[in-house]
Amino acid sequence: MRKGVCALLMALVMSSMGGIVFAQEVQNCDAIMPSATNGVMLYDIPQITADTEIFRRTPMIDGVIEDGEWDTYYTFETGGWSATTFADWDTQNVYVAAKSNRPLDFLTVLDCCDDGWFHGEDNYEFRATRVSDGALSLSVSRYESMNTKAPVATPVSPQEMASVELRSAKVEGVYMIEMRIPVALIPGFKLANGKKIGFQVALNASGGDSGWVPNNELGDTKQCIVVTKKFATLKPLELGFDLRDTVVAKGDELIGKFHLKNGGGEKMDVESFVIAGEGLAGEHLSSAKVRMDGLTAGQHVSGDYRSLVLSGMRVGSWALGAEVKSANSRLGSALVSFDVVEPFEIKLRLPDRDVRADAKDVTVGVVISNYRRSNIDGVAKVIFPTGWELWRGLDQRDFQISGKSNTAVSFKAKPPLGAIGDIPVRIDVICGNETKTVEGKFRVVNP
């Protein structure tokens, strides 16, 4: 299936027929010449319609925006400057990007509780500004706006700054910027389907503080909602799209069902519907096409979908799409998000306090989580420093875990005389052809 097979969502421009448009492009794209003020070129602000439903998808932050990798937030063209911004999310991050035919500065603001820029301490600014060599300089600020009418930007700590990832590139005359904002940066901030946030992206190709598009007002955020599904249909067509599991381990099948119904009183010219991976997921998932001879009044049909999730799919959020077509046009489309995870994960368990040197023994272990639907089995092996005596000499133990569950494997070891200080421990977990390793330390102290 081609990339972006269900870029259906962007192509479904049916406003004259009562359709819904997910990410509308600028309505006024007249080429208005920019004006110059004190040597700085200023562009007329075009009419912009942003897609306030931010879809769950995990792009790769490498500075290069690929087709089918992102979801559009808004596009515009003014005075020969054309640009597109993008926004996505998953439970760990907010993702923002832009591409432009001109060099640009990049600004994102977040009002995490969507309670206004002058309320609380949840307002953040992420600003990437061009410097003398053309590179981008990133600044991240928190606006402490509790009980004040003039919030002041406070730079985040170096550690917090380092958690924000920014990449940029120029490819064939197109300037691209990608940014990852970790949810953990913002105290108490969590993302889940249906959460509302205050959000805005602004661009500046002028090189001055007054040239931001769509506006220069920092706190002028839009109310956005983060979603896991999107639908666009021509009435009276009704769509539904559900997955058996929204979290799928590599090696398992992605299983879904697509529904469509003619809610009107006359037959609709429905020729077919297609289900396939949307965007970059189209390179990894199979596609299914169902041909039809129209949809009579009140008729309901559905189509099943199954595709193996292979090891080549990155861990993260992806999109599955469906498209309904007549002989001449698209009648409806849908997107649903799902997560790809590793078949199993491991977490080390160590003593939660210092261990006395005269202790009889020490227990360490590993928690193994099975994300597959089927059972898995394997072996866990522990490595202690020389001199530690393992209970019954057992340095490895077999395990079996039911589907979608976890288990703990423990080892006991007796400390040797003189074992004081930080004690390194390593546990290898072997399951099938895959080995995962986890390491850590605990401290032994004098009694």
Same domain membership, residue 208 and residue 238:
no
**pLDDT score of 314 more than 60:** yes
**pLDDT score of 282 more than 70:** yes
Q: What is the CATH number of the domain that holds 251?
A: 2.60.40.10
Q: What is the CATH number of the domain that holds 173?
A: 2.60.40.1190
In a domain, 192, yes or no: yes
What's the sign of the alpha-carbon dihedral 187, 188, 191, 197?
negative
* pLDDT level of residue 209 (50, 70, 90 thresholds): confident
Same domain membership, residue 379 and residue 254:
no
Residue 220: per-residue pLDDT: 81
Same domain membership, residue 210 and residue 75:
yes
Same domain membership, residue 164 and residue 101:
yes
**pLDDT score of 305 more than 60:** yes
Q: Average pLDDT of 407-418?
A: 95
**pLDDT score of 31 more than 50:** no
Residue 10: per-residue pLDDT: 40
In a domain, 5, yes or no: no
Of the residues 319, 341, 363, the one at which a domain ends? 341
Provide the token pair at 218: 């920092």
More confident: 75 or 47: 75
**How far apart, in whole angstroms, are the C-alpha atoms of residue 275 and residue 420?**
61
**pLDDT score of 144 more than 70:** yes
Residue with tokens 């590179």: 135
In a domain, 208, yes or no: yes
Structural domain of 439: 344-445
Nearest to 191 by CA among 93, 55, 103: 93
Query: Are the CB atoms for 347 and 375 separated by under 8 Å?
Result: no
Residue 306: per-residue pLDDT: 97
Contacts of 187 (CB under 8 A, 6+ apart): none
Residue 2: per-residue pLDDT: 39
- Tell me phi and psi for residue 281, to 5 degrees: -65, -20
**pLDDT score of 53 more than 70:** yes
pTM for this entry:
0.86
Same domain membership, residue 219 and residue 244:
no
**pLDDT score of 51 more than 70:** yes
Same domain membership, residue 283 and residue 394:
no
**How far apart, in whole angstroms, are the C-alpha atoms of residue 364 and residue 385?**
13
pLDDT digits (tens, 9 = 90+) for 362-384: 999 999 999 999 999 999 999 99
95: helix, coil or strand? strand
In a domain, 4, yes or no: no
What single string gives the DSSP state of each residue in 116-183?
A: -TTSTT-EEEEEEEE-TTS-EEEEEEEEE-TT-SS-EEEEPPHHHHHTSEEEEEEETTEEEEEEEEEG
pLDDT digits (tens, 9 = 90+) for 60-103: 999 999 999 999 999 999 989 999 999 999 999 999 999 999 99
**pLDDT score of 22 more than 90:** no
Residue 27: per-residue pLDDT: 33
* pLDDT level of residue 395 (50, 70, 90 thresholds): very high
Same domain membership, residue 375 and residue 417:
yes
Same domain membership, residue 282 and residue 422:
no
Residue 411: per-residue pLDDT: 98
Of the residues 341, 373, 397, the one at which a domain ends? 341
Q: Average pLDDT of 203-228?
A: 85
Same domain membership, residue 183 and residue 63:
yes
Paired with 274 in beta bridges are: 289, 323
Residue 8: per-residue pLDDT: 41
Of the residues 294, 323, 341, the one at which a domain ends? 341
- Rounded to whole angstroms, what are the CA distances from 48 to 110, 126, 215? 19, 21, 11
The pLDDT > 70 percentage for the chain reads 88
Residue 119: per-residue pLDDT: 72
In a domain, 302, yes or no: yes
**pLDDT score of 131 more than 80:** yes
Same domain membership, residue 130 and residue 179:
yes
In a domain, 113, yes or no: yes
Query: Are the CB atoms for 408 and 430 separated by under 8 Å?
Result: no
In a domain, 293, yes or no: yes
* pLDDT level of residue 9 (50, 70, 90 thresholds): very low
Contacts of 112 (CB under 8 A, 6+ apart): 122, 123, 124, 186, 189, 197, 198
**How far apart, in whole angstroms, are the C-alpha atoms of residue 343 and residue 320?**
20
Residue 15: per-residue pLDDT: 29
Same domain membership, residue 256 and residue 195:
no
Q: Given phi > 0 = left and psi -120 to 50 = alpha, else beta, which region is 317?
A: beta
**How far apart, in whole angstroms, are the C-alpha atoms of residue 305 and residue 319?**
14
In a domain, 241, yes or no: yes
* pLDDT level of residue 310 (50, 70, 90 thresholds): very high
Residue 14: per-residue pLDDT: 30
Q: Average pLDDT of 388-408?
A: 96
More confident: 117 or 228: 228
Same domain membership, residue 248 and residue 365:
no
**pLDDT score of 38 more than 80:** no
Does an H or E element contain 217, and which? none
- The tally of domains found in the chain comes to 3
